[in-house]
Amino acid sequence: MDPAIQSIEFLARSEHRVMALEALLNKRLDRRDLRAVTGASDPTVGRVVRDFEDRSWIVRDGPHYELTPLGEFVADLFLNCVRE
């Protein structure tokens, strides 16, 4: 399967992933902020963060997470697709 399609499928399967990605597009957030934005439990936020780190979409700076250039690219493309 095409990696781009796999990324879209990965995001589309979880509302929490989409909300976290969109929130991180706007600013750096810590886990508490991500829980508040997504309404997800701490274990769920932990999985989202690990998944995003594994895909090199985010990096951690102290307690905060921010999108990498690749993460920004993915977020822009995905969010533009779902908004149209």
User: What local confidence, expressed as pLDDT, does residue 80 receive?
Assistant: 81
pLDDT at 12: 83
Given this model, what pLDDT does residue 65 score?
A: 98
Domains and CATH numbers, the chain: 3-83 (1.10.10.10)
Map residue 51 onto helix, strand or coil. helix
Which pLDDT value is given to residue 50? Answer: 96
pLDDT of residue 1: 63
Give CA–CA dist 59/29, Å, rounded: 11
> To which H or E segment does residue 21 belong?
helix 15-26
CB 68 within 8 A of CB 59: yes
Instruction: Say if residue 84's pLDDT is above 70.
Output: no
pLDDT tens digit sequence for 43-77? 999 999 999 999 999 999 999 999 999 999 999 88
**Distance (Å, rounded) from C-alpha 50 to C-alpha 45?**
9
